[in-house]
Structure 1
C-alpha cells in the first residue's frame, strides 16, 4: 500500500556546466535547517543554575554570606548582653565594657579593611595579567596602554625602577601595536623584579635543603618547609605589588597549588630532573643529603609556581625561569658536602 502524499522518486540529473553571471540562472532557496529537538527540552540543572546566577551569587557564596550574617548577629547580641550585664552590676563596669567593645569593633574593622585590600590587590594582579594576555592575542592598542599604565602604578613605590618608568612613559605614544607595547612594558619594568624573584626562590630552596639535611627531627623539617614556602609566596607577592593579608595568603596558596596541579608539579622533562635521574645523583648521596636535595627542589618548584601566579604580566618577551635556573647551585653544594663528608 503506497501513500499518495509521497512524490515519486525523480530521475538523477546529468551534470551541467553554467556561468555564475548567467541571467537565466535561478538559484534554489536555502534548505531549512533541521529542527534540534534537544534544544527545545529544558534542562532542569541549567534552569536552576540560571536562577542562582540571576541573583549574582552561587550557592556557596550565598551560604557563606548567610553564615557571616548569622555570626555577626550572634556577636552583636552577645556583646550587647555583656555590656548590659556589666552596667547592671555597676555603671563603671558598664562604661568600661562599652569602651572595650568600641575598641574591639574599631580594630576589627581596620583588620577587615586590610584583608579586603589585600584580596583586592591580588585580584588586581590577576586582572592586569588577563588584560595583558588579551591585548597580545587581539593586538589591542587601547588595552595594551591600560596595561602599561597599570604597571606604572604597581611599580610606583619602587625607587630602583624610576629610570625604567621614565623610559616607558617616553615610549607610550610611539608604539602602535598593542602586543609590542605589552612586550616593551615587560622588558622595561620586570627584568629587575624577575632577577630578585629568582634570587628569593634560590635562597629559600638552599635554606630548606641545608636545614633538612642537618635536622634530626622530621617534624622540624616539616614545620620549616611549610614556613619557608608560605614566607616565600608572601615575599614574591609583595615584590610584584600584591601585599596579601591572611585571607589573601589563603587565596594565594590555593592559586599556587592549582597552578602546580595544572602544570603537572615537577616537570619530568626539566633538564635538572634529567640530570638527577641520568647521573644517579640521588642514589649517590646519603639519605639526609638526598632528602635535603629533594625538599629543596620541591621548594624551588613551588617558588616558580608562585612567580607565575603573582607576576602581573605573562612571560612573553622574557623567558620564564626554569628549575635549573634556581636550583643548580643546590645540587653542586650537595655534591660538595657529600664529597667532604667522612666515609
Structure 2
C-alpha cells in the first residue's frame, strides 16, 4: 500500500515537463479556437454588409417609385433562383456518396481488421462508380474489380497478423488498378473544369467595376462549379460535408466583396506611381486574380469531398488543406497567365479608347480656343 502511495505521489513530479507541454498545447488550442470564432464573426458581419448593399439598391429604386423597388426584388430573386438556386438544387439532388472510414493502416504492421474494413468500403465505392453514367463504358472492369475485391476481403477475414503484410500490399495494388485507374479520367475533367471556372471568375470580376456585382458573379460561378463537380463524380458528401462546402462558397463570396475596397486602394496607389491607366488596370486585375485563387481552392476542396475515396477526419484536416493549397500553387501560374491573356485585350481596348477620348478632347478644346482667339503663342 505504501509503495502504491509513493508511486501516486511521485507521478506528478515526474510528469512536470509533460505538464508544461500540455499547458502550451492547451493555450494553442484556445488561441486557435478564438481565431476560428473571430474569422467566423467577421464573415457573418461581412455577410450582413453584402445584404446591406442589396438593400441600398432596393431603397434607391424604391425612392424613385415603390413599384420599381418591388420589381428590383422580384428580378433579383428570379436571377438568384435561376443562376444560383438551380445549381444548388442540382448539387443536393446528387446521391450521397459512401463515407470513407478514417482508417489508418500501418504499412509495417497492418491490422487485418482495418484491412477488411477498408476493403468493405472499396466495394461500396465500386458499386457507387457503377451507377455513374460517365463511366458506363467501364462497367465490365468495375464488375471484375468487385469480384477481385470480394476475394481479397475473404482473405482479409481469415488472415493472421503474419499474412496481413502481404494482404496490405495486395490492397494497395487493388486500389490503384481497379479504383484509381477509373477515377483518373474523372479527375482530369474536374481539374480542367476548376481551371476554367477560376479563369472565368477572375476575368468577370476584373472587368466588373462593382463589388456587389463581383460578389454575385463569384456566388453564381462557385455554386455552379460545386454542382458540376458533384455531377462528374456522381455523388456529394453527407449532410455536414455538404454544409461545409456551402459554407466555403459563402465565405468566398463575402471575402470577394470585402476585398473590393482593398484592390481599389491598391489601384489608386499604383495609379499614383505608374499613371492613371496603370491604376485602372492593376486594381481590377488584382481583384480578379484573388477571386480566381479562392475559386481554385474551393474547387480542390470540393473535389476532395465529392471524390470521397480517402477519409476526411479532424486529424487529416491539416493534410487536406495543404493538399488543396498544393493544387492552387500548381495551377496558379497557368490561371494567372490565362487571366492576363483574357484581360489583356480588354485593357488594351480600354487604353486605346482612353487615348482617343483624350486626343478628341484636346482637339475639341483647341477648336474652341481658336474661336475665341485663345490659341497659345508660338513657341509656348
TM-score (norm. length: structure 1)? 0.48
User: Who wins on radius of gyration, i.e. which is larger?
Assistant: 1
Q: Which has the higher helix share?
A: 2
TM-score (norm. length: structure 2)? 0.44
